Amino acid sequence: MRHTAKICFLSLLPLFITTGCWNLKEPDQLAFVAGNGLDLTKNGKLEASTLLVIPAGIGGGQINGGEKKESYQVMNATGKNVSDALDNIQSKLSRVVFAGHRDIFLVGQSLAEHGMGNTIDTFMRSSQSDMRAMIYLVKNGQPKDVFSSAPFFEPFITTTLSEEQEAIGLKPYLAREFVADVWSDATQPLLPVVSLNPSTHYSYNGSAILNKDDGVKLVGFLDKEETSYARWLTNRLISFTLTAFVSKGNGNISLSLDNLGRRIKVLQVGETIQIDVHLTGGGTIIENSTKLDSSKRKDLLLIQKEISLQTEKSTQKLVKKVQEAYKMDIFGFGESVHQQYPLQWKTLKHNWTKTFPTVAVSVSVDIRINDSGLTHSSLNKP
Amino acid sequence: MGRLGKSDVIDKLNANDSQSSENINRNIGNSIIVNEAIFKKVFQHSSDIMYREITIHSQTKLLLIYVDGMVNTDIIISNILEPLMYKGLPQGLGAVESVFEMFEQERFSVLQTKKVSNIDDISEHILKGNLAILVDGENIALLADVKKIETRSISDSAIEPVLRGSRESFTENLRTNTTMLRRILATPNLKIDSLKIGKLTKTDVAVVYIEGIVKPSVLNDVKKRLKQIQTNAILESGIIEQYIEEDQFSPFPQILNSERPDVVAAGLLEGRVAIITNGTPFALIVPMTFWSGLQAPDDYHQRFLFVAMIRWVRYIFTALSVFLPSIFIALTNFHPEMVPPDLMLNIAALRERAPFPTVIEVLLMEFMFEGLQEAGLRLPKQIGPLVSIVGALVIGEAAVSAGIISAPVVIVVATGGIAAFIIPRYSFSFPLRMLRFPLIILSGTLGIFGIAIGISTILIHLLNLQSFGTPYLSPVAPLNKRGLKDVLIRWPKKLVKNSKGDQV
């Protein structure tokens, strides 16, 4: 018995070694994709662009002698659908495209206006797709132009893009969150936006509101400040610098906020739903051009109150704008209703898109100044 | 029988040669001439055997036989020859009986004497360094222990160095070694059973244990297996190891060896059995477990927090030494998405000009590394450093800058190699070094799946392995919570109690 088992094993062994499942690919047989972009060309054709890393260009020390190579290459191709376009890119390359390390996914504005539900699905489904990749929408430009813009720090622009959100205090909006938003009952996706400057360098430029119920179509944009408030409302903000005019001191005060929090309370009065949002934050004064002395408790409380009030106003304005102009629940209020009134939600959810603009939302803000920001008294003597 | 000429006797012996060789249990005769002839025949062509005939009062003949160089001639002269030759027997030497009486009364001032009449026994004793005294007219020989064998002195342990603890290590002499154990364990319960193994070498082997602590089943098992050894020669304890181990085909050693008396003593205190062999400083300790292969002699001498950390470093490095090269291959060739992007791109960049597939590169470098190790081991000490210089230059530096081997492979192989050096028991690093190769091939063909197959196979094998009835992976499998404390963190001594409630 043992003997036969041995013979079987020995005869199977060469089968493994010689045939194996040879999905073995040496790193030098792969073309590493750092970023993918999708857009529509002017005549309505789907165009895919790919940022490929050229390993020989990114160092490797003494190995690559001779001339310094470019560290990346942007490849574009059009096609009938995404697979076809990607296939057309592959046909221009001598190495197998490998998207397992893709950091960035860019969607062109024209594609977003057309609705990107169908096309982006292909990317999200791909087994190589990293759900930790980030999605951006490119305003006033095309993904391939962003890819081609020269990066300062990193060898290619995608790394820069993936670190951008964290650097400005936003919780990175990852592909998996986008997917979760699209699949959720109520929340509408709020994509970060980059746009190209005349100097052909990109800049972060707020965010885009999409309508997932209509093929993930672009509805409108929010600017940078609005985005920060919107992110605060959705609890996707890490830190935030807030500048407000304090009328009593006749000057501006800048606060660096962290410890940001949000509480949503849903009240049902009869048929109507009322949502109370309570925003909290702790901060340090980083600039004070008012006559108020932040080291005095009285003044500090005044500043605190004034800033909270102003933030309340701007937030309320934003909510109103979204409710009236875009009619999209980007704040995830629907989810809160779902959590707090699960039974009622069953009937509400079918009509939520229509209900949302009519919901009464009140925002209260409570900002605490933890640190008056003084190392010595102000040079600007009142 | 009367007196016979020497030549007659030899003729007679030659005539009876075939017959006598069959008859092993021959005894010596009464005639000293016959006896001398017998031994000269036994020790033919042996120039180091000395025969000294002594005539006292021109009457009685004595014959001393010994091996030159193995006896203490001072003792022979002052304690044996002097009383016989100069002082004479108290009332002058009368009959032969008087000499024999002296034997009877053991008047010689040596420590051990013995009376033997069997030729084979006598010759064996002579070869072990005893002095044989034959008396004319007596068919019995007196053996006096006047051994003086040149041995190496006790020195530092060369292969099991410690930071803290005893520096002495065993020597080649069995008695010296058992003495060292006696010095550590001053209890009458320390038992040292001896037996002889090997038809030609007749090597002294001592089975050492502490009565009351040792597991009787293990002890009986050891004795039984030792008795079953049928061989001509035991040159080193490694030969005994091969005869008594359970699974010869396992890459893992099932018997611990150590040249440190404190390690052996610690083993004995844990209820193990030690087998000490004459002629080698390496004692065997049974049973052995997987974890004892990863414990250093001074683990118990250092403070426990540090040892707990160092143990984990050791466990991790042990795993690295086996799996690192294969994991590297699997990750870079099959699952590049599992490597952090920047690292993967770096590896890819360094591989741009590599001529060989990664698997071949790793195998090549592992092969070279093993070669270097072996070369460093066998070289005379004077040119030893040369190997490391040439090896480091050729393999580390030149191979990379020439673009033959990619740099990450050198790092991986070197790390894996160094990791194997951290294992405190040198013989325990052999299986780890060996198992690398099948794992490399498995991962090169099947990726992570192949490594999983490899790990499962190794684990199944380890779970099946036993050393003298003790499961190899105990106390982890089968689980024993008390023992686990010692494996995972080496619990503080004060807090460890053994099964009887005593502090160990």
Structural domain contains residue B1: no
Same domain, B242 and B207: yes
Please tell me the distance from the alpha carbon of residue B222 to that of residue B273, in angstroms, as a whole number.
8
Same domain, B319 and B440: yes
How many angstroms away from the CA of A61 is the closest CA of chain B?
A: 8
Is residue B441 within 8 angstroms of chain A, CB to CB?
A: yes
Q: Which residues of A touch B334 (CB under 8 A)?
A: 23-25
Q: Cβ separation of B345 and A26 shorter than 8 Å?
A: no
Is residue B4 within 8 angstroms of chain A, CB to CB?
A: no
Same domain, B246 and B320: no
One DSSP character per residue, A322-340 reads: IIIII---TT-HHHHHHHH
Same domain, B316 and B368: yes
C-beta separation of A290 from A302 below 8 A = no
Beta strands B60-67 and B256-258, pairing class? unpaired
Q: What is the mean pLDDT of chain A?
A: 87
Same domain, B281 and B418: no
Mutual orientation of helices B429-446 and B358-378 as an angle, nearest 10°? 170
Q: Which of B255, B288, B321 is the last residue of a domain?
A: B288
Same domain, B195 and B331: no
Structural domain contains residue B413: yes
Predicted confidence at residue B213, as pLDDT, reads 92
Q: Cβ separation of A16 and B354 shorter than 8 Å?
A: no
Q: What are the φ/ψ torsions at residue B246 (nearest 5 degrees)?
A: -75, -50
Please tell me the distance from the alpha carbon of residue A47 to that of residue A84, in angstroms, as a whole number.
10
**How many domains does chain B contain in total?**
3
Same domain, B136 and B235: no
Banded pLDDT at A322 (limits 50, 70, 90): very high
Distance from the Cα of residue B350 to its chain's centroid: 47
One DSSP character per residue, B123-172 reads: HHHHHTTEEEEEETT-S-EEEEE-B----PPP-B-SSS--SSS--B---S
C-beta separation of B496 from B485 below 8 A = yes
Same domain, B238 and B321: no
DSSP 8-state assignment for residue B299: G
Same domain, B63 and B123: yes
Predicted confidence at residue B325, as pLDDT, reads 95
Nearest to A55 among B337, B345, B444 (CB): B345
Element (H, E) at A167: helix A157-167
What does R_g of chain A's alpha carbons equal in angstroms? 26
Beta strands A134-139 and A190-196, pairing class? parallel
DSSP 8-state assignment for residue A264: E
Please tell me the distance from the alpha carbon of residue B431 to that of residue B103, in angstroms, as a whole number.
57
- Amino acid at residue number A256: S
Beta strands B466-467 and B470-471, pairing class? antiparallel
Q: Cβ separation of A16 and B445 shorter than 8 Å?
A: yes
* ipTM for the assembly: 0.82
Nearest to A32 among B345, B357, B447 (CB): B345
Q: Which residues of A touch B349 (CB under 8 A)?
A: 55-60, 63-64
- Any idea where the domains of chain A sit in the sequence? 26-59+69-222, 239-382
Nearest to B348 among A21, A32, A128 (CB): A32
Average pLDDT over every residue of A318-331: 92
Q: Cβ separation of A101 and B337 shorter than 8 Å?
A: yes
Structural domain contains residue B209: yes
Other beta carbons within 10 angstroms of residue B59's beta carbon come to 13
How many angstroms away from the CA of B433 is the closest CA of chain A?
A: 21
Predicted confidence at residue A33, as pLDDT, reads 92
Same domain, B246 and B279: yes
Same domain, B309 and B236: no
Which of A81-90, A153-162, B220-229 has the weakest average pLDDT?
A153-162
Please tell me the distance from the alpha carbon of residue B261 to that of residue B157, in angstroms, as a whole number.
10
Q: Cβ separation of B446 and A20 shorter than 8 Å?
A: yes
Q: Cβ separation of A21 and B446 shorter than 8 Å?
A: yes
Structural domain contains residue B461: yes
Is residue B402 within 8 angstroms of chain A, CB to CB?
A: no
Nearest to A28 among B344, B351, B449 (CB): B351
Q: Which of B288, B312, B341 is the last residue of a domain?
A: B288
Q: How many helices (H) and strands (E) does chain B have?
A: 20, 12
Q: Tell me which chain A residue has its CA closest to the CA of residue B359.
A: A26
Q: Which residues of A touch B361 (CB under 8 A)?
A: none
pLDDT in tens, chain B (504 residues): 344 455 555 555 554 444 444 445 578 888 888 888 888 888 888 888 888 887 766 666 788 898 888 888 888 888 777 777 665 555 454 444 556 666 666 566 666 778 888 888 888 888 888 888 888 777 888 888 888 877 788 888 888 888 888 889 999 989 899 999 999 999 999 999 999 999 988 899 999 999 999 999 999 999 999 999 999 999 999 999 999 998 889 999 999 999 999 999 999 998 999 999 999 999 999 999 999 889 888 888 888 899 999 999 999 999 999 999 999 999 999 999 889 988 998 899 888 888 899 999 999 999 988 988 888 888 888 887 787 788 778 777 888 888 888 889 999 999 999 899 888 888 899 999 999 999 999 999 888 999 999 999 999 999 999 999 899 998 888 888 888 888 888 888 777 765 444 433
Please tell me the distance from the alpha carbon of residue B471 to that of residue B456, in angstroms, as a whole number.
17
Please tell me the distance from the alpha carbon of residue B45 to that of residue B23, in angstroms, as a whole number.
22
Structural domain contains residue B494: no
Does residue B492 have a cis bond before it (omega within 30 degrees)? no
Beta strands A240-246 and A217-222, pairing class? unpaired
Q: Cβ separation of B345 and A61 shorter than 8 Å?
A: no
Q: Residue B52 is part of which domain span?
A: 6-145
Predicted confidence at residue B242, as pLDDT, reads 93
Same domain, B283 and B411: no
Q: Which residues of B touch A53 (CB under 8 A)?
A: 345, 348
Structural domain contains residue B140: yes
Structural domain contains residue B151: no
Q: Tell me which chain B residue has its CA closest to the CA of residue A62.
A: B401
CB pairs under 8 A between A and B: 89
Minimal CA–CA distance to B267: which of B184, B172, B158? B184
Beta strands B283-286 and B273-277, pairing class? antiparallel
Structural domain contains residue B503: no
C-beta separation of B443 from A20 below 8 A = no
CATH number of A239-382: 3.30.300.210
C-beta separation of B27 from B117 below 8 A = yes
Q: Which residues of B touch A25 (CB under 8 A)?
A: 333-334, 336
